[in-house]
Amino acid sequence: MMNYSSEMVTCLFYFLFILFLAGHGASLDCIRSCGKHGPKIRFPFRIKDKQADHCGYPGFDLSCSEGKDTMLELPTGVKLRIERIDYRHQVIHARDSQCFFLRRLNFSLSASHFQIKDDWMCNQTLFNCSSNGERSPNIVKIPCLSTFHHEVYAAESSHSKTIYYLCLGPIQVVDLRKLNATTFTSKLKV
């Protein structure tokens, strides 16, 4: 009777071990990236058309661009390039691959699973500087709004007074106080 029990325990052990290996292998199959330097994609995200449905949660589909960037398409049609995913804090570091400021007034996340992380929300002031001057780390150039004749910079409205001293030519100020905007690297929270 004792031999029968030890054989059964041994078989049960092997069965559980094989089950563990199969489950572990399936989860390894669910970790991918779009490119060599792209973020690792794992649950709740999945790369659409490259990973099985069980690898991700519905609505958390990502895609790979031709340049092997990881992309998130929001229900509004805005495509964001994913730079980093912090799974522990449930934060996605995303950047708009096009000129987000041109579309920002109509931007909404209401139809998606994501929200802009509260501690990164701030009001932005845009500056049109016709001449180059010394730059501060508190301001960021917006290349898609700049031209050969002038450069457009943005600063948090609380830092906007410093730019008056940094732009050498005439300044046109557009204050976006009515718009809760993030800086140019948006942080989306799941």
Cα separation, 142 vs 65, in Å, equals 23
Between residues 173 and 180, the one the model is more confident about:
173
* Residue 11: alpha-carbon gap to chain centroid: 47
Q: What pLDDT does 24 receive? A: 45
Number of helices and strands in the chain (H, E)? 3, 13
What DSSP character marks residue 143? G
- Looking at residue 6, its pLDDT comes to 58
Q: Is pLDDT of 1 > 50?
A: no
What does the pLDDT look like over 110-167, one tens digit per residue?
666 666 655 545 566 777 776 655 666 667 777 777 777 777 777 776 665 666 666 6
β-pair partners for 79? 73
